[in-house]
Amino acid sequence: MILVADSGSSKTDWMGYFNGETIKFNTQGINPYFLNEQDISRIILKNEIISPLASEVKEIYFFGAGCSSPDKHEVVSNGLSTVFTNAFISVEHDLLGSVYATCGDSEGLNCILGTGSNICYFDGKKIQEGHHGLGYVLGDEGSGTFFGKKVLLSYLYKKMPADLEMEFIKAFPSEKEQIITNVYQKPFPNIYLAGFSRFLANNYDHVFVKDILKKGFQEFVDTNVKDYPNYKTIPCHFVGSIAYYYQDILKDVLKENGITAGKILQKPIQDLYDFILQKEDIIKQAI
């Protein structure tokens, strides 16, 4: 049995091939910056679909947020190997999984716009080293956390139009003190902040909302995409709910900046899974 996983901070999408059939399931996000090995094992064991089949799994290709260094690879690998005792386990950064899903074997820029954000250049064979992906405190331009923070600040600073403010209070009836506590004292503040970004979807036609989205995408382009000298000559692909649901505004921003839009996927798991099955031998040689 082969399992392929694409994990963000909020959720992990899994696909597997078992006895001639494809299975799909989800678990909590597995990010080694927020979880230890025991946490990861518990997440897998709680899933009623895969835990009974754990001993049957022979190969796992895991691509996750926060898996950008050997020590973080080890945290995830150890957590998974506790459950999948008979499996070969490969752990890589979610950017690589996204690249396989979008670029395949071709040159291109690959961007993640989900709870967090990131970008990389893929030359058709490997990802070139970059200096992005700084997380929600220092970076994450154009992400759910970024936009959630923008929405929240516009409300707290009384910059939000009166009609939107009324809708915000209905949707998020929280006092300032409660918001501060959630951001600074409770776990997963990035996911908490990203939750406010859904306010944009619910009020998408408002000019204030469209302005926030356009400026946010432009900031992502200016800070990340334009950092690559060849950004106008190669396709720029996107993965993530923020890119997917607001792709009309995103495409407008890309066009205004002379950037060719490539694939825009809500989730990379299906394309990633297909690539893994087709290129399994190549991937084994690369890891």
Terminus-to-terminus CA distance in the chain, angstroms?
A: 19
pLDDT digits (tens, 9 = 90+) for 132-182: 766 667 668 889 999 999 999 999 989 999 999 999 999 887 788 888 887
**Residue 173's Cα: distance from chain center in Å?**
28
Q: Of 32, 40, 29, which Cα lies nearest the Cα of 6?
A: 29
pLDDT digits (tens, 9 = 90+) for 202-219: 999 999 999 999 999 999
Q: Say yes or no to pLDDT of 280 above 70.
A: no
CA 225 – CA 236 distance, rounded (Å):
8
Question: In this structure, is the dihedral angle defined by the CA atoms of residues 209, 211, 215 and 218, taken in order, positive or negative?
Answer: positive
Which pLDDT does position 281 carry in this prediction? 53
Question: In this structure, is the dihedral angle defined by the CA atoms of residues 165, 168, 170 and 176, taken in order, positive or negative?
Answer: negative
pLDDT digits (tens, 9 = 90+) for 94-142: 889 999 999 998 999 999 898 888 899 999 988 887 777 666 676 688 8
CATH number of 106-265: 3.30.420.40
Which pLDDT does position 285 carry in this prediction? 43
Which pLDDT does position 182 carry in this prediction? 76
Considering the chain, tell me which residue range(s) the CATH 3.30.420.40 domain(s) occupy.
Answer: 2-99+268-286, 106-265
Could you please state the CATH topology (level 3) that the domain comprising 2-99+268-286 is classified under: Nucleotidyltransferase; domain 5 (3.30.420)
Residue whose structure tokens are 């910056």: 33
User: Within 10 Å of residue 19's Cβ, how many Cβ atoms?
Assistant: 8
CA 87 – CA 158 distance, rounded (Å):
54
CB under 8 Å to 268, separation ≥6 — which residues? 6, 97, 98, 100, 101, 102, 239
pLDDT digits (tens, 9 = 90+) for 187-204: 778 888 888 888 999 999
pLDDT digits (tens, 9 = 90+) for 9-52: 778 999 998 877 889 999 999 999 889 999 999 999 998 889 88
Which pLDDT does position 138 carry in this prediction? 67
CA 274 – CA 272 distance, rounded (Å):
5
pLDDT digits (tens, 9 = 90+) for 53-82: 889 999 999 999 888 889 999 999 999 999
3-state helix, strand, coil in the chain (%, to 5): 50, 20, 30
